Chain A
């Protein structure tokens, strides 16, 4: 039973944190992305297929609240994120905490690049946004993700995966 509700529950927690906690802990308009942490976590633990599925679903949830003309952009970016990060699945690779945080940061950039391309941002503006928005947000997310990986999920990593 726990197997079935664990990830939906984690997703609900991630969305709740993104819409409440994230707002409270923003500094200079820089905040973490808990939904992205969730997708990276799922992808690392369950592989590319499950990562892509959850990425698609989470992206769609974000898209519903984004400008309607951009519907599908978050879905695409989160889907790609889930699939790409899933290639580094923990079943086949041994990843230490530092590597996981690095993957989280890299995933953040991949996700944002796909998103900016999907909404049709110009190249000049894209680099500007990657530097002014993605970089600080990704650093903050890596910090929060590091804490999540270290204290919440360490115990479960030794479990056998299906």
Chain B
């Protein structure tokens, strides 16, 4: 043990750490250039063996903060209810919320699974969250995930009791959307894991403030889930197209609960488009 430590110290001191750096640099380049299947297996094994248990700890701390904030809110709410008990204000709000949920379910006629967000990627660019539902709860890959505010993303990697949700800002998630007012169809994507943009023909007459919804094309997301608002409109490389910046309805940093629609992808649609 002592010899190994001494050897490592000697190696690390040579060239002021240059050898260690070169070895690690080559290793990082190998990982970067590895085929997608190898990358997938690296991520998958790392997630199942180390990261999910660690995420439990992190989410419990997050929960503690959340519970404390929730507790404060409930105390305040309780005080308000004592004064305004006859108005049953909070009960009414709850009823409205439940009505919205019921409408969601009726509209698409797919079973809905509620899930809690128990983890998120620790980097600055949030592209993935982990939820506490998995295969055991009926989840599969490529199922739509949404919140009360709008579309969140889709399930990507599904384990027994956990699943990763690919958020809309993930550059690998491309989505067909349409203007709620204009019905013009476009392609929503994020090129930098931060901004969302959509390309829609100029002739559609989209304006700043227009709402975008899922178009139902592509086979994964059903038609009509609200996605976001058009924030800015730029000229695209092609004169006939407009590049629009989109602000999603759901702020991903503050996701706590999501709904997973048990809708399996309709790959026939995609096959027919080929």
Interface residues of A (CB under 8 A from B): 15-16, 18-20, 23-24, 26, 29, 31, 33, 35, 47-53, 56, 59-69, 71-76, 79-80, 83, 86-87, 118, 121, 125, 129, 133, 137
Contacts and interface: CB of A to CB of B under 8 A. Distances in A.
B: interface residue count bin? 35 or more
A79 B121 contact: no
22 contacts: A16-B61, A19-B62, A19-B122, A20-B65, A23-B62, A24-B65, A47-B16, A48-B20, A49-B13, A49-B21, A52-B21, A53-B12, A53-B20, A61-B51, A62-B121, A67-B193, A71-B39, A72-B28, A72-B33, A72-B34, A76-B32, A137-B124
A64 B47 contact: yes
Interface of B: 11-13, 16-18, 20-21, 24-25, 27-34, 36, 39-40, 42-43, 46-47, 51, 54, 57-58, 61-62, 65, 119-125, 127-128, 170-172, 191-194, 253-254
Contacts of A31: 124
Contacts, number: 140
B127 to A, nearest CB: 6
A72 to B, nearest CB: 3
B17 A52 contact: yes
A26 B28 CA distance: 30
B28 A76 contact: yes
A65 B17 contact: no
A87 B16 contact: yes
A47 B18 CA distance: 11
Contacts of A64: 43, 46-47, 51, 121
Contacts of A65: 51, 119-123, 127-128
A60 B24 CA distance: 11
Contacts of A29: 253
A125 B191 contact: yes
Nearest to B20: A49
B17 A86 contact: yes
A56 B12 contact: no
A133 B172 CA distance: 20
A99 B83 CA distance: 57
A67 B172 contact: yes
Given A23-B253, A72-B32, A125-B192, 14 more contacts: A19-B120, A23-B62, A49-B11, A49-B12, A52-B20, A52-B21, A60-B31, A64-B47, A65-B121, A67-B128, A71-B34, A72-B29, A74-B123, A79-B24
A121 B192 contact: yes
Q: Which 9 interchain pairs have the tightest Cβ spacing? A: A65-B121, A72-B32, A48-B17, A49-B17, A49-B12, A72-B31, A49-B20, A75-B28, A71-B39
A15 B54 CA distance: 10
Contacts of B253: 23, 26, 29
Given A52-B20, A53-B20, A79-B28, A19 B51 contact: no
A62 B51 CA distance: 11
B232 to A, nearest CB: 13
Contacts of A61: 51, 122
Given A33-B124, A66-B123, A76-B32, A133 B194 contact: yes
